[in-house]
Amino acid sequence: MTTLELGPRAEPLRAELFSLDQLREHAAFLGGRHAIDARRRPDRLLGRLSDNARVLREAREVVAQSAAEGRRIALAAEWLLDNFYLIEQQIVLARRHLSPGFSRELPQLASGPSAGFPRVYDMALELISHVDGKVDAETITGFVAAYQGVHPLGLGELWAFPIMLRLALLENLRRVASRIARRREDRNAAIAWAGRMLESAAEAPRRLTHLLAELADAHV
């Protein structure tokens, strides 16, 4: 089985949980910090969506293969298998709303981790990270209104914000699924090495030392 490439951003979007008042303060802080790039950069959202979809499918494949082999899987991995059709639906909807060049029509950030992405996408990422992925109408309205108190958004950005939330939630799911898959692969590796050691101890005990050295060199 090929090891899943999780990339550098494998952790869930999770920061300090904020109350509604704290979210408003944070939105105002973002409004003052965001610097808009005057240049028109290439669209990056479609590429990121495709990459997120790929990682999500690979993570599901890791879990599905373990389940098919009769291995016990964690509750989070079970959730991923049972609800993956819903994730696929959201990917399809996001693609339907993201026409080529869509993000080029929106103000993009000039610096920071989201440089080259629309600022409303960064807003969506920040919102989700501080509410642990749980959003509602009051939270969204308060967050956007507080941001606009410092830096007004264009009409196109306001229309785009629901799409950005969908994309940001898929980003978060990608990181959660990546972590699930990595843990599954770690367990699979542990099971495989334990089996080899038990077999060696029973049939060729003298080889056990060599096997342990091989394990150390494998850096699993």
The structure's pTM equals 0.81
Query: What separation, in Å, do the N-terminal and C-terminal C-alpha atoms of the chain show?
Result: 14
Q: Which carries the bigger pLDDT value, residue 2 or residue 149?
A: 149
Packed helices 45-68 and 155-203: angle between N→C axes, nearest 10 degrees: 30
Q: Binning pLDDT at 50, 70 and 90, where does residue 141 land?
A: very high
H/E stretch holding 30: helix 20-33
Q: Which of 186, 175, 191 is nearest to 80 (CA)?
A: 175
* Phi, psi dihedral angles at 150 (to 5 degrees): -105, -40
Please give, one letter per residue, the 3-state secondary structure of 81-95.
HHHHHHHHHHHHHHH
Q: What is residue 14's predicted lDDT score, i.e. its pLDDT?
A: 65
Q: Binning pLDDT at 50, 70 and 90, where does residue 13 land?
A: low
What is the pLDDT of the chain when averaged over all its residues? 87
179 token code pair: 């972590």
Residue at 107: amino acid letter: P
Lowest mean pLDDT, pick from 51-60, 110-119, 123-132, 206-215:
206-215
Q: Binning pLDDT at 50, 70 and 90, where does residue 3 land?
A: very low
Domain limits, the chain: 20-182
